[in-house]
Chain A
Amino acid sequence: MTKEILYKIDSLYRDQFRVTGYTFGEGEKALCVVGSIRGNEIQQIYTCAHLIRTLKKLEEEGKIVPGKQILVIPSCNPYSMNIEKRFWPTDNTDINRMFPGYDMGETTQRIAAGIFDRVKDYANGIQLASFYMPGEFMPHVRMMQTGFENIELAKEFGLPYVVRRHTRPYDTTTLNYNWQIWETNAFSLYTTGTDHIDREGAQLGLEAILSFMTRRGMLKDGFVNRLESQVVEDVDLVTARAGKAGIFERYVRTGQTVQKGQLLACILSPYDGEALEEIMAPVKGTVFFASDQPLTYSSTAVFKLIP
């Protein structure tokens, strides 16, 4: 294992801003794993830390296949993490909206360019992603539909679901999208949670990455998830919305199978507790996403079901 500073900039009053990478094995650039990009992605840095500890041990045991190089970057944004901000401290920009970056541009464009330069030549790229909707997700791997995506590869993580995301205009500046454009097989790995630690979720993410590495010939007799992943198109997910705003009282969890018309949650009046709305399952299916916000706005997607 070698630890290396991949990118740095000096600050006026703070310690130097550093993006640190851990490299395992030598040779062909086989896999790059990126942990947190935003300051609240605690579960992502935590999962990455476990991965680094595990790979260190596996390397010592000679389990990394010769000729394969793996780079792990636990955090692209320690500055924001240290002050509990999601985005860049001075200008509130999101590094994950700046790829492929520009080395003569603004601060976060430079950081993105500096990182992208170090990660772009890997055959496979995994980002431990967080979702903008706060809530619980079924663990899954997501690939963006760019025309270059190879969805079969995503099944090698052995997670229950592989989701193909249809690209939207704002996706084009993310790491995942640009990786694919630069011919890296890019995966976003979603376990559970973002701003809190979930040990089970981290273990699941770790095993998924090890399974992928084993099946892709990077690890000798490593761990393999035998689960057969189901491919889901993001446009096929069925949304259940809260029509009204109020207190969100939820009765089901992710992974649960629900019948059409089953009561999933109620929206309660925050003043007198009266039920303003009952949210029913629009179809029979598995709960893929469930909001965990105690107050909800109107017309908000609070569940996503796999029919």
Chain B
Amino acid sequence: MIKTVAAVELPVDEILQIRKKRIEPKQGNTGKRISIVTGIHGDELEGQYVCHQVIRRIESEINNLTGIVDVYPAMNPLGIDSVTRGIPGFDLDMNRIFPGNSDGTMTEYIASEIIRDLEGSDLCIDIHASNIYLTEIPQIRINELHQDKLLSLAKYLNVDLVWIHSNATVLESTLAYSLNSRNTPTLVVEMGVGMRITKEYGDQLTEGILQVMKELGMWKGAAGPVRRPMISRAVDEVEFVNAPKAGIFVQTASHGQYLHRGEEIGQIIDPLEGKVRARIRSEAGGVLFTIREYPVVDEGSLIARILKREEPYVPAL
């Protein structure tokens, strides 16, 4: 069943609608509810495939469903349609306007309706796809303030990494922060890259979503085995590598690979002079979990993030 979560009129003959698909169990409803959300950033598309797969898998074994599944594939439909990260016409990052305000502007109103609809879910999963500049291995980001509640659920989602990060005031206006502070557990998934679909990652997360539904007691059907993620708790466990010079970045290491200290990640080249401007090396041994995707870099552009570890990561199933 398709439901409209929020609807507003645009100036010229168009209605903007945020819609969701609700799948209800045929029998044995436990009253549990999971919400799958994506498309807050209009240029992040990895979640599109996941929404489709989750719906297909559940509907093909509908008799095994014992709770409610709500799927919201497009929180920012205008952004998705116009290849725009933020909300077009407002020049606004939609993930900086929560919890919204029902008496506020059009965008604040939409945000508040979204929160109202999602609040009370037993779990909400907000799927992001990094941005157009960086590629990420499937990972969950958890604000340290909410780690006690979220870590136990995150382990079932079949991601490779759970990154517990420190709180920052600006993050208090995200969807996840707003929901978690209203006692609706919300996990933020980051995976892949903006403007693309990485099918392999989408399939991986789909299994995780089915597995976590099993743990919540709302799914009795098939769910693939899930991998045990690496967990990063401390701030100094993640090494950030920024470009020392402007240029064109060419990757030499592979994404997700284990790097020894001093190993090359890539080069910043100068196509005008035919020279290598800088060789980018890892300062520490660890797993290359974020890698630059968009080749043009300025001084300071993020090139890589490395989770410092003694040994390579082998996803144990």
Pairwise interchain contact B105-A301, C-beta atoms closer than 8 A: yes
Interface string of A76-115 (1 = CB under 8 A from B): 0000000000100011100001000000111111100000
Contact of A299 among B104, B245, B248, B300 (CB under 8 A): B104
Residue of A nearest to B269 (CB): A12
Knowing A105-B242, A295-B11, A299-B104 are in contact, say whether A11-B298 is a contact too (CB < 8 A): yes
Pairwise interchain contact B11-A90, C-beta atoms closer than 8 A: no
Knowing A270-B12, A295-B12, A300-B105 are in contact, say whether A12-B89 is a contact too (CB < 8 A): no
B219 at the A/B interface (Cβ < 8 Å)? no
Pairwise interchain contact A297-B106, C-beta atoms closer than 8 A: yes
Interface string of B264-293 (1 = CB under 8 A from A): 000000101000000000000000000000
Query: How far is A106 from B299 in the complex, measured between Cα atoms in Å?
Result: 8
CB distance from A35 to the nearest CB of B (A): 21
A9 at the A/B interface (Cβ < 8 Å)? yes
Which one of A20-28, A42-50, A135-143, A167-175 is at the B interface? A167-175
Q: Which residues of A contact B270 (CB under 8 A)?
A: 12
Query: How far is A244 from B10 in the complex, measured between Cα atoms in Å?
Result: 9
Query: How far is A107 from B246 in the complex, measured between Cα atoms in Å?
Result: 10
Contact of B133 among A91, A108, A170, A295 (CB under 8 A): A91
Query: How far is A91 from B246 in the complex, measured between Cα atoms in Å?
Result: 13
Knowing A104-B242, A270-B13 are in contact, say whether A300-B298 is a contact too (CB < 8 A): no
Pairwise interchain contact B247-A12, C-beta atoms closer than 8 A: yes
Contact of B245 among A10, A86, A104 (CB under 8 A): A10
Interface string of B60-93 (1 = CB under 8 A from A): 0000000000000000000000000100010100
Pairwise interchain contact A110-B106, C-beta atoms closer than 8 A: no
Residue of A nearest to B109 (CB): A299
Q: Which residues of A contact B247 (CB under 8 A)?
A: 12
Query: How far is A90 from B105 in the complex, measured between Cα atoms in Å?
Result: 30
A271 at the A/B interface (Cβ < 8 Å)? yes
Pairwise interchain contact A169-B300, C-beta atoms closer than 8 A: no
B183 at the A/B interface (Cβ < 8 Å)? no
Interface string of A113-134 (1 = CB under 8 A from B): 0000000000000000000100
| Number of chain A residues whose Cβ lies closer than 8 Å to a Cβ of chain B | 35
B96 at the A/B interface (Cβ < 8 Å)? yes
B170 at the A/B interface (Cβ < 8 Å)? yes
A290 at the A/B interface (Cβ < 8 Å)? no
CB distance from B236 to the nearest CB of A (A): 14
B216 at the A/B interface (Cβ < 8 Å)? no
Contact of A246 among B11, B106, B242, B298 (CB under 8 A): B11
Q: Which residues of B contact A107 (CB under 8 A)?
A: 298-301
CB distance from B283 to the nearest CB of A (A): 12
Pairwise interchain contact B302-A170, C-beta atoms closer than 8 A: no
Q: Which residues of B contact A270 (CB under 8 A)?
A: 11-13
CB distance from A254 to the nearest CB of B (A): 20
Q: Which residues of B contact A109 (CB under 8 A)?
A: 300
Pairwise interchain contact A90-B298, C-beta atoms closer than 8 A: yes
Query: How far is A107 from B13 in the complex, measured between Cα atoms in Å?
Result: 41
Contact of B169 among A9, A13, A169, A296 (CB under 8 A): A169
Binding site for B on A (CB under 8 A): 9-13, 86, 90-92, 97, 104-110, 132, 169-170, 172-173, 244-247, 270-271, 295-301
Top 9 A-B residue pairs of the complex, sorted by shortest distance between their CB atoms: A107-B300, A295-B11, A107-B298, A245-B11, A12-B246, A110-B300, A297-B106, A9-B299, A169-B172
22 A-B interface contacts by CB (under 8 A): A11-B298, A12-B248, A12-B270, A12-B272, A91-B133, A107-B299, A107-B300, A107-B301, A110-B299, A110-B300, A172-B169, A244-B9, A245-B8, A245-B9, A270-B13, A271-B13, A297-B89, A297-B106, A299-B104, A299-B105, A300-B105, A300-B106
